[in-house]
Amino acid sequence: MHSGPTEPPREGRRKALKMIAATGLALAGGATAAATDGNVLGRRIPASGERLAAVGLGTYETFDVADAALPALQQVLARFVALGGQMVDSSPMYGRAESVLGHLAETLGARQRLFLATKVWTSGEADGVRQMETSFNRLRTRQLDLMQVHNLVDWQVHLATMRDWQRQGRIRYLGVTHYHAGAHRQLETVLRAARPDFVQINYSMAERDAESRLLPLAQDLGIAVIINRPFAQGALFTRVRGRPLPAWAAEFDCTSWAQFFLKFILAQPAVTCVIPATSKVLHLEDNLAAAQGRLPDERQLSRMAGSLRDA
């Protein structure tokens, strides 16, 4: 279980963290032009036409950290921004994650370059309002790019509040989420009834249930799709441990298993953004590289699926 959310310190460590931030941006700066010159895959948000980088960053567990871990994590966020990453997804369910994200984004001066997404995870209108207001404070922002109903909890009540806030300009987009295929049929009902701007679901080479109905439905309805659990909580890496990457993966500019798994997801035209979580710069760079170069075609997707079945 996560520890209860608390705020990172605003004083004491500020000077040191600003120095770390400057160092992080300097280290990342050398790759910025190459990574953002049009080669990074972006997808349009159907509700607006706004373009969003197709690989984002999750914060579950990885941003729920003690103060001692902040400098290393700040390097990760600095590199993410420098390479053209935008969406960072969080939740009040994730312990300190919202507070840590808000603290690091502010210290880096990166808020305007990030697409901040979080969730409401409670029942009742009043509790929902309180929780969402707390998220604004933790994330240190006056406007959120995306507010989502976490796991469909009291979704009708919260979506009504969100629509009011959207009209007021407090949130730009609203959405619903779930992490398990057992909720996909309920999600279908919600998408048809509520037509949110975004839906966040689980999908990976190990969890392909969304392919049959949910992804096509979202595409038909013009709803942006965020993918969580892209590595099936690490199970995919376990399945290929000790196996070399197939040589034919080079046909779609793939150089690692992480890119292999992410490009399989991004080959789905309904997918807007995938949000792998990491606390390591090297893994972040590897993940974001999946948004560069070619994506697999239908023949290659079939071959990819076959290679995993043989694992």
The pTM assigned to this predicted structure is 0.88
Q: Is the pLDDT of residue 106 over 60?
A: yes
- Comparing 267 with 1, which gets the higher pLDDT? 267
Domain 41-241+265-294 adopts which CATH fold? TIM Barrel (3.20.20)
User: Mean pLDDT across the chain, nearest whole number?
Assistant: 89
The two structure tokens encoding residue 37 = 């010159």
Averaged over 129-155, what is the pLDDT? 98
Query: Would you state the pLDDT for residue 309?
Result: 84
Query: Would you state the pLDDT for residue 310?
Result: 77
Averaged over 265-283, what is the pLDDT? 98
What whole-number percentage of the chain has pLDDT above 70? Answer: 87
Query: pLDDT tens digits for 191-246?
Result: 999 999 999 999 999 999 999 999 999 999 999 999 999 999 999 999 999 999 99
Measure Cα distances from 249 to 35, 244, 293, 311 in Å.
21, 11, 12, 16
Query: Would you state the pLDDT for residue 7?
Result: 39
Query: Would you state the pLDDT for residue 27?
Result: 33
Query: Would you state the pLDDT for residue 14?
Result: 40
Averaged over 57-77, what is the pLDDT? 97
**Strand ordering across the sheet containing 198-202:** 57-58, 87-89, 115-120, 144-149, 171-177, 198-202, 224-228, 271-274
Averaged over 88-105, what is the pLDDT? 97
- Kindly list the domain boundaries of the chain, sorted by start residue: 41-241+265-294
Q: Is the pLDDT of residue 174 over 60?
A: yes
Averaged over 114-143, what is the pLDDT? 98
Query: pLDDT tens digits for 19-60?
Result: 333 333 333 333 222 233 346 799 999 999 999 999 999 999
- 226 forms bridges with which residues in the sheet? 200, 273
Q: Is the pLDDT of residue 123 over 50?
A: yes
Averaged over 270-279, what is the pLDDT? 98
